[in-house]
Amino acid sequence: MKKQTLVLGAMLLIAGLIQAQPDQNGRPPKPPTQEERLKHVSEALNKQLTLTTAQKEKVLAAYKAFFADMEKNRRKDAKQQPPPPPPPVKKEIADKLSAVRDAKVKAALTPEQYKKYVEIEKTMRPKHP
């Protein structure tokens, strides 16, 4: 049993190291398919353990169910994750748009109201790190 646990731990470590390496374009590689993972597990277990045909079928069936359940949970977690925030607008563009907005607001307000607006607008700006 200890030998099986050691083999499983080694396989997971190797799989993690293989997945962490980016490809030539700097993108992370695609994760292996379920069939590829099953083949890898089968080969690793066959090297280390002497399994009968019935044992091999049961072990591979257990791994197949495990991989399928893990994929379902990954998809479920991915759906629950919020989408990434939109990229920020360039400062020059934001400043230009703010000037246009403030000109329209200034035309609509009295001078006293506009002074108060400028103070209030400063407090409404998002804080930058």
Interatomic CA distance for residues 94 and 99, integer angstroms: 9
pLDDT band, very low/low/confident/very high, at 86 (cuts 50, 70, 90): confident
Instruction: Tell me whether residue 86 is in a domain.
Output: no
Q: What is the pLDDT of residue 16?
A: 66
Q: Within this chain, do residues 68 and 8 fall inside the same structural domain, yes or no?
A: yes
Q: Within this chain, do residues 26 and 76 fall inside the same structural domain, yes or no?
A: yes
Interatomic CA distance for residues 56 and 110, integer angstroms: 83
Q: Within this chain, do residues 38 and 64 fall inside the same structural domain, yes or no?
A: yes
Instruction: Tell me whether residue 35 is in a domain.
Output: yes
Domain interval for residue 109: 91-124
37 token code pair: 């993972």
pLDDT band, very low/low/confident/very high, at 15 (cuts 50, 70, 90): low
Q: Within this chain, do residues 54 and 106 fall inside the same structural domain, yes or no?
A: no
Instruction: Tell me whether residue 85 is in a domain.
Output: no
The 10s digit of each residue's pLDDT in 90-116 is: 888 888 888 899 889 888 888 889 888
Over pLDDT 70: what percentage of the chain?
Answer: 78
Structurally, how many domains does the chain consist of?
A: 2
Q: Pick the residue with more confidence: 17 or 37?
A: 37
Q: Within this chain, do residues 63 and 12 fall inside the same structural domain, yes or no?
A: yes
Q: What is the pLDDT of residue 24?
A: 63
pTM score, two decimals?
0.43
99 token code pair: 């000037």
Q: Within this chain, do residues 53 and 23 fall inside the same structural domain, yes or no?
A: yes
Q: How many helices (H) and strands (E) does the chain have?
A: 5, 0
Instruction: Tell me whether residue 51 is in a domain.
Output: yes
The 10s digit of each residue's pLDDT in 70-81 is: 888 877 766 677
The 10s digit of each residue's pLDDT in 32-54 is: 788 888 888 788 877 777 778 88
Q: What is the pLDDT of residue 123?
A: 79
Alpha helices in 49-128 (DSSP H): 53-80, 91-108, 111-124
Instruction: Tell me whether residue 129 is in a domain.
Output: no
